[in-house]
Amino acid sequence: MNDTWSTGWRRLAGTLLCLTLSGALLAACTEKAAEAPQPPAAGEQQPAQDEPAPEETAPPEAAEQEPAAYTAPLTGLPVEQPADKRPLAVMINNAPAARPQSGLSQADIVYEVLAEGGITRLIGIFQSRGAEETIGPIRSIRPYLIDLGESYGGVLVHAGGSNDAYAIIQRQHKEDLDEISNAGPYFWRDKSRKAPHNLYSSADKLREGADKRGYAEHVELKSYPFHDPADESVPEGEDAAGVDVTFLLQNYKVSYKYDTATKLYQRFINGKPHIDLNNNEQLTAANVIVLGADQKVLDDVGRLDIDVASGGKAVLLQRGKVLEGKWVRAKGDVIRFVKDGQEVPLYPGTTYFNIVPNAPSFDSHLQLLK
């Protein structure tokens, strides 16, 4: 019996020892597993480590672009100061010997119209731009040039004029600055060029001369409707890469070619870029208007009478499109482009008006570029 009890006790003690050792081994294995986690099986995603959640921040609000405080009435471009100065209507020589001219890139509006001999004259309307920059060469005036310049309320700037033009200026007491008769000190001659293609001035000097003569510094300014500068919509009209304009002489052709990168028309004369000598940059336009006008020859010299009041056919080129319409001009107003009786908004920038004869036909003076 003692042997039997002894044997049983030994078996129980061994069992208890095994259980104790197994528990210790299991605890050790569990602790080891916690210290060195096994990599996940192939194709199984490893659980992410617990990390503090990042603080949520609101996305930064897009900076709102403030609209321009002021807008130039003749270009629709933003300006830092009120554009309220009286315009200057400067007669600019466009004979081959006068090119390249200076200051045209600073004009708000440019008119091109025939003078004698088949060469055109340019009228630069300077209102919101140009200060110390040289402008010229400056040339003589004609009655229809008086009419166009005064339509903007501009001080007429010229050097001489036809007998008819002088008669109008003197009889109607026009406010003008004439290098020959009343404002010589506000012009200068460039010795590097031959007369009469060497007469220049600047907007600052011309305004000084206008003030000296007691001319009004401010007038009621004309303006045009403009598209919003941020407007990226395609204007109405047919596709056109530009236009060739022949005023009279076949060997004298003005071209405007659309540049999609700048959304401006580059100006050429006889296939060569028309350059502003001040900055050596090609002249450009946001809007190009070609309009037809009746004209007649007045004398043996070839001086012209051009009707710039009655209206007629016209085309407008902007943003690579051409639109057929009409030009109109109410009494005391500027020339405007209309379609179906409504004025068509322009795009901000310089506008070129090209006045061609109605004979033999308006369409014979322009060729659209595709």
Q: What is the CATH number of the domain that holds 355?
A: 3.50.90.10
φ, ψ for residue 26, nearest 5 deg: -65, -40
- What number of helices (H) and strands (E) belong to the chain? 4, 27
Residue where one domain finishes, among candidates 148, 178, 213: 213
CA–CA separation, 293 and 318 (whole Å): 21
Are both 146 and 259 inside the same structural domain? no
Burial 45-68 (b: 16+ CB within 10 A, else e): eeeeeeeeeeeeeeeeeeeeeeee
Are both 265 and 186 inside the same structural domain? no
Q: Which residues contact 352 (CB under 8 A, 6 or more apart)?
A: 109, 110, 111, 112, 256, 265, 267, 285, 287, 288, 289
Residue span of the structural domain in which 161 resides: 70-213
10 Å CB burial of residue 34 (0-12, 13-18, 19+) is: exposed
In a domain, 80, yes or no: yes
Question: What pLDDT is stored for residue 184 in this prediction?
Answer: 96
> Pairing state of beta strands 264-269 and 253-259?
antiparallel
Are both 252 and 163 inside the same structural domain? no
DSSP H or E run through 212: helix 203-212
Instruction: Concatenate the DSSP letters of all residues of 264-323 into one string.
Output: EEEEEETTEE-EETTTTEE-EESEEEEEEE-EEE-STT--EEE--SS-EEEEEEETTEEE
Are both 86 and 209 inside the same structural domain? yes
Question: What pLDDT is stored for residue 130 in this prediction?
Answer: 86
In a domain, 41, yes or no: no
Question: What pLDDT is stored for residue 64 in this prediction?
Answer: 53
Question: What pLDDT is stored for residue 297 in this prediction?
Answer: 83
- Tens place of pLDDT per residue across the chain (370 aa): 444 434 443 443 444 333 343 444 334 434 443 343 344 444 444 444 444 444 545 454 444 556 668 999 999 999 988 999 999 999 999 999 999 999 999 999 999 999 988 899 999 999 999 899 999 999 999 999 999 999 999 999 999 999 999 999 999 999 999 999 999 999 999 999 999 999 999 999 999 999 999 999 999 999 999 999 888 888 999 999 999 999 998 888 999 999 999 999 999 999 999 999 999 999 999 999 999 999 988 777 767 899 999 999 999 999 999 999 999 999 999 999 999 999 999 999 999 999 999 999 999 999 999 9
10 Å CB burial of residue 261 (0-12, 13-18, 19+) is: exposed
Are both 104 and 168 inside the same structural domain? yes
Are both 108 and 208 inside the same structural domain? yes
Number of structural domains the chain divides into: 2
Are both 160 and 269 inside the same structural domain? no
165 near 145, Cβ under 8 Å? yes
Are both 208 and 160 inside the same structural domain? yes
Are both 132 and 96 inside the same structural domain? yes
Question: What pLDDT is stored for residue 233 in this prediction?
Answer: 82
Are both 118 and 196 inside the same structural domain? yes
Are both 256 and 126 inside the same structural domain? no
Q: Which residues contact 265 (CB under 8 A, 6 or more apart)?
A: 242, 256, 257, 258, 259, 284, 285, 286, 288, 317, 352
Q: Which amino acid is located at 12 in the chain?
A: L
pTM of the model: 0.81
Question: What pLDDT is stored for residue 90 in this prediction?
Answer: 98
In a domain, 126, yes or no: yes
In a domain, 29, yes or no: no
Are both 126 and 199 inside the same structural domain? yes
CA–CA separation, 22 and 43 (whole Å): 34
In a domain, 84, yes or no: yes
Alpha-carbon dihedral angle through residues 100, 103, 106, 110, given to the nearest 10 degrees: -60
In a domain, 18, yes or no: no
Structure tokens at 232: 């990226």
User: Any idea which residue has 């019996």 for tokens?
Assistant: 1
CA–CA separation, 34 and 67 (whole Å): 64
In a domain, 277, yes or no: yes
In a domain, 156, yes or no: yes
Question: What pLDDT is stored for residue 294 in this prediction?
Answer: 96
